[in-house]
Amino acid sequence: MGTVLGLVVLTGVRAAPQPVASGTDPASGLPYWAYQGGGISVQLVQRLPDQTRAFFMARGFDRDAAEAIALGCVFQTIVRNIDPGPEAQAIEYDVARWRVHVTGRTRPVKIKSQWDREWTARGLSEAARIAFRWSLLPTRQRLEPSDYNWGMSSFDLPPGQVFDLELVWSREGQQYRGAIEGMRCAPDVPAATHNQEE
């Protein structure tokens, strides 16, 4: 397991000086990146485009719509409040404030409301849109001590793209920022091929 330091130090903002771990998720056999510090743990596990295609086509997506999300760099994301001890505080995050840094540019993460507008324009059924909303990580959430939630996150990048992710959250009224460097979108390879390689 490798580690890199994930820090963004800004005036008036507390940076959480914890390393970022990376490795292979034992359940999926796919790479993951995990940030831990400032009361929060964020783990992101690659999803192969084939996995995402199959998931959404089974929930009423047509092939074109399933392809749009499958090729959008999807990760399974788990956010936990790990603030320890009897004085533990709630944490709050808003994915709309997270930023992707790629090829010298900064861009936001693609969130539920943006996808929903796209699905409406494509004429996707209400049932399929509801299934999609429930599958994504909530855009904003308050997590009490030991609470956690999970869902998919979409970064709107091509398969195989390397990027850095800037995280933003708050605790006790203090804003924190952290960074996960060198994340990589899953390649567009058949899931069966990936399983054979493990």
pTM (2 d.p.): 0.86
On the question of pLDDT at 191 being above 80, the answer is no
Instruction: Note the pLDDT of residue 190.
Output: 81
How many domains does the structure of the chain reveal? 1
Region 82-98: mean pLDDT is 92
- Domain range for 137: 2-197
By CB neighbour count within 10 A (0-12 exposed, 13-18 middle, 19+ buried), where does 127 fall?
Answer: exposed
Instruction: Note the pLDDT of residue 14.
Output: 56
CA 3, CA 115: separation in Å to the nearest integer? 33
Region 165-177: mean pLDDT is 94
* Weakest mean pLDDT among 75-79, 103-107, 189-193: 189-193
Q: C-alpha dihedral over 51, 55, 58, 59, to 10 degrees?
A: -160
